[in-house]
Structure formats: C-alpha cells, structure tokens
Amino acid sequence: MGINIVIVVAVVIAAALVIRGYIARGGKGDCCGGVDVVRAKGPADRDASHYAHTYEVKVDGMSCENCAKRIANAFNAMPGTMASVDLASGIATVRTKESADVDGLRRVVRNEGYGAGAIREL
C-alpha cells in the first residue's frame, strides 16, 4: 500500500512540473518536439553599431532552438534592444542603446519561463 502512494505522488509531481513548464511558456506548445514552432523576430534596428552596451545573460533551462528563439524574441521586442542566444553555451548576448537594469534583464528571461543566472557587462 505504501509503495502505491509513493508512485502516485511521484506521478502527480511529474505531471505538475510538465504543466508548469507549459504554462510558463504561455501555452506555446512543446518546444522540444523536434518541430520548429517559434519564428525568430529581430529587433527594429539591426545595426549593431547603434547599441552602446553589451551584456551576457546566463539562461538556464533551455533545451532546444525554440527555447533560444523565445528568449531572443523577448529581448528583441524591447525598444532599444538587440539580442541573440547561443543554445550550446546557454548565453544570451543582449545589446542595448541605453544602460540596462540587470534585474530587468533577469525579469525578461524569467517571464519566458527560464532561469536567469549571472549577468556581466562586456
């Protein structure tokens, strides 16, 4: 009887984590299903020389290119910001025209459902 309760609790926890991830991504689907479901959206101003500040933001929890595109799109939607994300290193390179608030950069990552680690200005 006791082992059955442990198994049920484990299944409920696993299901809750899956649902939490889906909700954190805004119901945007299964990012790791092998299908390219997220379109990359660049910034309004694509000239890197117009951006005076560069930050590296460590992003935790990305598992596919769709995850990386979500993060880049979130940054690129911000005025005065241009970003690219390297999935292999887990680093978002964020260029801004004005000095950025580090907590604001973390918030962008967290709002997309991922973890934000160290941030350094280059």
> Cβ distance 117 to 58 under 8 Å?
yes
Q: Is residue 8 part of a domain?
A: no
Q: Is residue 4 part of a domain?
A: no
Q: Is residue 33 part of a domain?
A: no
pLDDT for 79-120, tens place per residue?
A: 999 999 999 999 999 999 999 999 999 999 999 999 999 999
CB atoms within 10 A of CB 42: 12
Q: Is residue 72 part of a domain?
A: yes
Q: Which of 97, 23, 119, 98 is nearest to 108 (CA)?
A: 119
Q: Is residue 38 part of a domain?
A: no
Residue 75: CATH number of its domain: 3.30.70.100
- Number of domain units in the chain: 1
- With bands split at pLDDT 50, 70 and 90, how would you rate the model's confidence at 11? confident
Residue-number span of the structural domain to which 78 is assigned: 48-121
Q: Is residue 34 part of a domain?
A: no
Q: Is residue 36 part of a domain?
A: no
> Cβ distance 58 to 119 under 8 Å?
yes
- Rounded CA separation 96/102 (Å): 12
Q: Is residue 84 part of a domain?
A: yes
